[in-house]
């Protein structure tokens, strides 16, 4: 009852006219930024942060939260339409979303993504409100060994992304892991594989990599096809998802939400990890896993739901413990401080209007985003009607600025081009880039947690067996790896 009262209080804060306008502005800005590849929620919040200096604290923070949720919604749009992932969390959406678009079902894919995001975001919020406290302490219990084991388990899910050869997917994943280790060592800050190039000190950024491997590579692949055709020569079948789509997607949305819900609270992991773990789960439980990668609705519904649920619940550690679980929330943490509010255990007592105002505003924001995004779908689908000779140059320009906008650095454009060429060649040689990107994202966390665990235990691997969560994840890992090998040997 008390929770309900507080919620109404939060909603009343969010529905005050100036605040409502700020939420709307934030959601709109977030959607725009989410749609553009490269500059993601982190960049958006940091760039727009100075604009909120004049606003009252509650208003400023709910606007920034609106930008974050808006960006999470918008991220899938370019993945589906033109195979350019808007941010790391929507790389997985490319796999089936773009295939759906090629089959004339862009509208259905976008619709499922929006509805899935809405449902997941809202369920995530209910969770945020109900079990914020216990969940946040669970997150704290995760130390290096637990992370290491969970991420190791995550690597096995990468294999599920493979549509053709598992060996080739493994090669891609290992290459991604190697690429993630370019730059100053995360523990000793010694340079590794930087060849004295100062732009490589901080390592490669995931966005130019993803934009190159997916976006530019796709354009190059299409550009050389003999007659200049459209990317989508198929007729656009539907503007919105149909009943069959819903029936296929409903469980995927719920499972994706559940996965994102828990992953979101874990420091570090969050949206990206949950998006592809949920994809892997869907492929595993599906009756016809061969559909995945060829336009399976579940392959869009699950990751999009997961990353939005994770986006909601990632507020939990920030609001209750004062610990931002990922980069976006770290920037938001800075925003709180600038406005004189310290997130943490005292927040709910000292600034109830901010705490409940954020939660209320996120409910409102989800509704606004649903209303905002639905009419956009038919509009986005029109993008695909642009003739290729105009569309391709524009996609290339978008890739160029997208890569540049992350660090305002021309060097990142060069990286994007190199990986565009690599992606094109990999396609020729029948490799798939998704495992590479995911291993690249997980790589740094994998490495530091392995090394920290070993430092903690003074070199003994027993540290992974003494802790229940780590042990459970390891057992699961060996089952996942062992079963296919066992079956393979028996078949022989």
Q: Which of 18, 56, 134, 393 binds another protein (CB under 8 A)?
A: 393
CB of 332 vs another protein, minimal distance in Å: 9
Of 441, 156, 118, 154, residue with least CA distance to 304: 118
| 142: its two tokens | 């995760």
As beta bridge partners, residue 191 has 184
CB of 359 vs another protein, minimal distance in Å: 20
What x-and-dash track marks residues 39-78 binding another protein by CB under 8 A?
x--xxxxxxxxx----------------------------
Closer CB to another protein, 196 or 375, in the complex: 196
Q: Which of 28, 240, 407, 465 binds another protein (CB under 8 A)?
A: 407
CB of 204 vs another protein, minimal distance in Å: 11
Closer CB to another protein, 123 or 329, in the complex: 329
Q: Which of residues 289-308 bind another protein (CB under 8 A)?
A: none
Q: From 125-133, 287-295, 319-327, 360-368, give the range in contact with another protein by CB under 8 A.
A: 319-327
**From the DSSP assignment, how many helices (H) and strands (E) are in the chain?**
23, 2
How far apart (Å, rounded) are the C-alpha atoms in residues 62 and 253? Answer: 26
Q: Which of 198, 379, 485, 489 binds another protein (CB under 8 A)?
A: 198
Q: Which of 338, 348, 370, 481 binds another protein (CB under 8 A)?
A: 338
27 neighbors 295 (Cβ within 8 angstroms): no
CB of 420 vs another protein, minimal distance in Å: 8
How far apart (Å, rounded) are the C-alpha atoms in residues 93 and 114? Answer: 12
19 neighbors 58 (Cβ within 8 angstroms): yes
Q: Which of 121, 124, 260, 267 binds another protein (CB under 8 A)?
A: 267
CB of 323 vs another protein, minimal distance in Å: 5
Q: Which of residues 199-218 bind another protein (CB under 8 A)?
A: 199-202
CA atoms 67, 69, 75, 81: torsion sign: negative
Q: Which of 340, 379, 491, 492 binds another protein (CB under 8 A)?
A: 340
Closer CB to another protein, 119 or 149, in the complex: 149
How far apart (Å, rounded) are the C-alpha atoms in residues 33 and 31? Answer: 5
440-470 burial, b if ≥16 CB within 10 A, otherwise e?
A: bbbbbbbbbbbbbbbeeeeeeeebbeebebb
What x-and-dash track marks residues 154-193 binding another protein by CB under 8 A?
-----------x-xx-xx--xx-xx--x--xxxxxxxxxx
80 neighbors 379 (Cβ within 8 angstroms): no
- Does residue 323 touch another protein according to CB under 8 A? yes
Q: Which of 148, 404, 440, 464 binds another protein (CB under 8 A)?
A: 404
Specify the DSSP element, H or E, that contains 192: strand 191-192
> How many residues touch another protein (CB under 8 A)?
109
| 369: its two tokens | 């985003």
CB of 68 vs another protein, minimal distance in Å: 13
Q: From 8-16, 20-28, 92-100, 447-455, give the range in contact with another protein by CB under 8 A.
A: 447-455
CB of 408 vs another protein, minimal distance in Å: 6
Closer CB to another protein, 291 or 451, in the complex: 451
Q: From 116-124, 286-294, 307-315, 410-418, give the range in contact with another protein by CB under 8 A.
A: 410-418
- Does residue 352 touch another protein according to CB under 8 A? no
What CA–CA distances, in Å, run from 454 to 54, 125, 144, 461?
48, 37, 9, 7
CB of 20 vs another protein, minimal distance in Å: 22
* Residue entry with tokens 């934030």: 26
Q: Which of 98, 447, 464, 480 binds another protein (CB under 8 A)?
A: 447
Q: Which of 160, 431, 440, 464 binds another protein (CB under 8 A)?
A: 431
Closer CB to another protein, 94 or 347, in the complex: 347
Of 258, 245, 261, residue with least CA distance to 300: 245
Q: Which of residues 219-238 bind another protein (CB under 8 A)?
A: 219-220, 223-226, 228
Q: Which of residues 73-132 bind another protein (CB under 8 A)?
A: none
Q: Which of 321, 359, 368, 377 binds another protein (CB under 8 A)?
A: 321
Residues 6+ apart with CB under 8 A from 17: none
Q: Which of 346, 371, 479, 483 binds another protein (CB under 8 A)?
A: 346
- Does residue 462 touch another protein according to CB under 8 A? no
CA triplet 225, 97, 84: central angle to 5 degrees?
A: 60
Q: How far apart are the first and last CA of the chain?
A: 62
Instruction: Compute the 3-state secondary structure of the chain and give helix, strand, coil in percent, each to the nearest 5.
Output: 75, 0, 25
How far apart (Å, rounded) are the C-alpha atoms in residues 42 and 76? Answer: 16
339 neighbors 357 (Cβ within 8 angstroms): no
207 neighbors 38 (Cβ within 8 angstroms): yes
Q: From 71-79, 95-103, 342-350, 370-378, give the range in contact with another protein by CB under 8 A.
A: 342-350
CA triplet 84, 90, 96: central angle to 5 degrees?
A: 75
85 neighbors 37 (Cβ within 8 angstroms): yes
What CA–CA distances, in Å, run from 81 to 103, 156, 299, 313, 469?
11, 29, 15, 28, 40
């Amino acid at each position: 009852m008390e929770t309900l009262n507080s919620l109404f209080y939060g909603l009343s804060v969010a529905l005050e006219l100036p605040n409502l306008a700020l939420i709307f502005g934030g959601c709109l800005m977030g959607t725009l930024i989410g749609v553009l590849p490269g500059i993601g929620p982190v960049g958006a919040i940091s760039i727009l942060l100075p604009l909120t200096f004049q606003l009252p604290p509650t208003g400023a923070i709910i606007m920034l939260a609106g930008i974050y949720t808006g960006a999470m919604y918008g991220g899938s749009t370019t993945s589906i339409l033109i195979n350019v992932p808007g941010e790391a969390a929507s790389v997985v959406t490319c796999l089936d979303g773009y295939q759906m678009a090629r089959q004339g079902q862009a509208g259905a894919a976008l619709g499922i993504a929006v509805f899935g995001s809405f449902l997941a975001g809202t369920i995530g919020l209910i969770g945020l409100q109900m079990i914020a406290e216990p969940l946040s302490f669970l997150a704290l219990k995760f130390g290096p060994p637990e992370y290491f084991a969970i991420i190791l388990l995550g690597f096995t899910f990468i294999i599920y992304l493979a549509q053709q050869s598992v060996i080739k997917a493994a090669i891609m994943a290992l290459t991604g892991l190697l690429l993630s280790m370019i730059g100053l060592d995360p523990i000793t800050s010694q340079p590794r594989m930087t060849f004295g190039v100062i732009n490589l000190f901080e390592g490669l950024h995931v966005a130019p990599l993803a934009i190159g491997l997916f976006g530019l590579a796709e354009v190059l692949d299409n550009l050389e096809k003999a007659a200049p055709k459209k990317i989508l020569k198929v007729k656009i079948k539907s503007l919105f998802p149909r009943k069959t789509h819903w029936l296929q997607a409903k469980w995927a949305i719920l499972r994706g939400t559940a996965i994102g819900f828990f992953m979101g609270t874990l420091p570090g992991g969050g949206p990206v990890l949950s998006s592809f773990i949920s994809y892997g789960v869907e492929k595993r439980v599906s009756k016809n896993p061969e559909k995945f990668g060829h336009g399976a609705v579940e392959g869009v519904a699950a990751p999009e739901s997961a990353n939005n649920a994770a986006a909601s619940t990632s507020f939990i550690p920030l609001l209750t413990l004062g610990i931002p679980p990922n980069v976006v929330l770290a920037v938001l943490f800075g925003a709180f401080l600038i406005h004189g509010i310290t997130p943490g255990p005292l927040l709910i007592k000292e600034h109830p209007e901010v705490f409940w105002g954020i939660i209320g505003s996120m409910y409102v924001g989800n509704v606004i985003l649903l209303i905002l995004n639905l009419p956009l779908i038919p509009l986005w689908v029109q993008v695909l009607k642009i003739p290729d000779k105009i569309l391709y140059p524009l996609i290339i320009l978008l890739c160029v600025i997208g890569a540049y906008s992350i660090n305002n650095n021309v060097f990142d454009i060069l990286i994007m081009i190199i990986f565009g060429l690599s992606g094109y060649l990999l396609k020729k040689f029948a490799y798939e880039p998704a495992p590479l990107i995911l291993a690249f994202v997980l790589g740094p966390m994998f490495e530091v947690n392995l090394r920290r665990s070993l430092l903690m235990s003074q070199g003994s691997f027993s540290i992974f067996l003494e802790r229940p969560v780590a042990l459970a994840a390891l057992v699961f890992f060996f089952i996942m790896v062992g079963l296919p090998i066992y079956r393979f040997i028996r078949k022989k």
